[in-house]
Chain A
Amino acid sequence: MDLFKEMAKAVIEGDEEQTVSLAKEALAKGVDPTEAIEKGFAEGMKEIGRLFETLEIFLPQVIISAEAMTAGVEIFRHYLLGKEGDIPKKTVLLGTIQGDVHDIGKNIVKIMLESNGFKVYDLGRDVPVSNFIEKVKELNPDLIGVSALMTTTMVHMPKLMEALQESGLRTKVKIMLGGAPVLPEWAKKIGADGYGESAMEAVRVAKRLVGLQGEGKGDKA
């Protein structure tokens, strides 16, 4: 369908006016919103992901495209909410571990996850283990993504794993780790479900862990 191609193109070009206009056009033509998102906007974002991975484009362009896609998706969301429905999304709780204020990597992962259809709850930087636990109870996410940039803060990651076990939440949520000093062997050793070396790798692993398509080399860390 040409409309889907146009939707993908609008995302790639970061044209927010066009994504909004095309979403409205799709609704007017009676196209199923979920199909339009998957075959239109998401395909555009997939191409953006590919271009970012090969560095044919850089993060600012990814952000612009992601914002254009979000604007278009919002049109569908308003429509579905009016009909007492919504677009189902897998949810990720994201944060940089206690003591660590280096969150640029986590922020890039957030952008890429949102661009790939995840609902992300970003707890920010320097997040105490207890906050992760409280938020898991409150939001019931499908996945927790935790990052650390320093060896002195990555040691809080096993404490998070223990706290999840003790509170009976471990079996209810998947855990993915990342950050410069975090190696896949270490992630496996402390019992994490996945490990993402880069933002794009994190998306692939996240998809796999929540039962969507996609697989990364670190997903069985």
Chain B
Amino acid sequence: MLRLRRRAAEPEPEPTADLALEARDLERAFGDNRAVAGLSLALRPGELYGLVGPDGAGKTTTIRLLTGLITPDAGVAFIAGRRVAPGSSETLEALGYMPQQYSLYGDLSVHENLWFFGKLFGLSGHAMRERRDRLLEVTRLARFGDRRASALSGGMYKKLALACALLHQPRVLLLDEPTNGVDPVSRRELWDLLHEFLHEGMAIIVATPYMDEASRCQRVGLMHRGRLLAEGRPDELVRAFEHETLLLHTDDRDALEEDLASHDEVLAVSPHGSAVRVVVRAGAAEAFRRTLPEAIRLEAVAPDFEDVFLARVRDAETASGVGGPRG
């Protein structure tokens, strides 16, 4: 196919050495919607990175940009030192990808799905069987080898999809909401599996809307409206959090929550048992205290990752002048 190369004068971008995955200023819009708006990422081999954000933050588009399934409007991405382009076999061979939606063949069995994707990655014979059996072993799917994929439970299906993505021993693994629709036990199993493969030097990106999963990652990026609001180790992000978290004990939670919506210094509100958990802007806690009725008892607590995320989103929305507090 004829492809015109524009900006021929510019030098071809070079990947940074020793990185398993690199994204520089990725941009992609769908119509008016800037799904990814200037996003940069860098992962070393053996690193587990959590891309955390609400639905519509641009996580799936980011991951698809890294696979080459979507072409960027601007910016470049490198996988294993090679530039990502649609259908570029060099990056695809180094890549394992597990889409968010069901993507295996429901009418084929567990074995047949593994066989098929193994073949597409050029595996055969002994190597194929050995890796297949090991993956079936660690995913505890060995007993279900002949079962059709459509007859697997949500958790087992995700484990099979993971096994299909791991069969060719990729250097980079991209997982788009792998625990979506998976029961808590299978969820923990999946995460334990990921940590096993990290030891082998794989770089893994997990996109997830679940804040509690962020703490399982070595590094997280908080994604919102196509941008990274903050990035770092989860514990460090929490430690560096400047705002204050309070628990408000009240008899009438609904009324209190409604009342809090009008407070500018309140960055985040979430229910916490019978109490209400709020994040108050740094330095504004004393003033906030005085505006509350006597009957409400306040308790200062340590912030957690979810507080950090909700406050950062609110900060960003205030800065750009859009949106209000979200329930």
The answer to whether A binds B is no
B residues adjacent to A (C-beta < 8 A): none
Name A's B-contacting residues (CB within 8 A). none
